[in-house]
Amino acid sequence: MTPENPGSPGSPVNPSAPTPKGHQRRAALLDAAEHVLGSAGGAELTMRAVADAAGVRLGHLQYYFPARSDLLAALLDRILTASLARVAALGEAGDAAGDLAAVLDALLGDHDDPSLVRLFTEVWAMAAHDEDAAGAVRAFYAAYAGHVARFVRDRSPGLDPVAAHSRAEVFVMLMEGAALFRSGIAGRAAPVTDAVLRRTLLDLLGLPGPGGGAA
């Protein structure tokens, strides 16, 4: 299976501007990487293992993802895109706390997916021992925090940008730490604790919490 341009059989595509077929092939390779990472763990996430899982030659995988760090970065991008999109939707939530609460519920709902939480724990473990993996993780959490910081600044225009960014980082820290404590890995979700968590997240965003007052 060789990457091709539709109008020029056998000629390589530019991976930075893939054709629809290229998108499909990249998606299949990322599916394989996600399977290896989720089922075998980060230690087994090698280029050879992913190529074997995808049923392609190693060279085919390297055409789209020259190194494991490129593969991991793309995988993180795909996994985090859904959450980032929901965070971006905060900007469309208006000033209604009820709408925002629904968005927070959607974000927290990710913790109900054991395979997703398990995959992230593997990524974090990789980042602890692999600087390339750590770089990919830092880059995507920076993007996550950037979305939240923009929302905070929009809702509190007088807030110092550094303070807005700090609130955003704490928001992300709480969300990601909550994944361990709400998913069954380090604890389990509890209604009383969830209520405090939601109120704290709303306060960080500068919006009214369920009890009333604005942060």
What does the pLDDT look like over 98-155, one tens digit per residue? 466 777 887 888 888 888 888 889 999 999 998 988 998 998 899 889 888 988 888 8
CATH 1.10.10.60 assigned to domain 1-66? The reply is: yes
What does CATH list as the number for 68-205?
1.10.357.10
The crossing angle, in degrees rounded to 10, of helices 161-182 and 97-109 is: 50
Q: DSSP states of 59-118 as a string?
A: HHHHHH-SSHHHHHHHHHHHHHHHHHHHHHGGGGSTT-HHHHHHHHHHHHHGGG-HHHHH
Number of residues assigned to the chain: 215
pLDDT value at residue 165 = 96
Rounded CA-CA distance 187/198 in Å is 17
Q: Say yes or no: do domains 1-66 and 68-205 share a fold.
A: no
Identify the residue with better confidence: 214 or 106: 106
- 53 vs 31, 35, 75, 95, 171, CA distance in Å? 9, 8, 15, 47, 36
pLDDT at 19 over 70: yes
pTM above 0.85, yes or no: no
| Boundaries of every domain in the chain | 1-66, 68-205
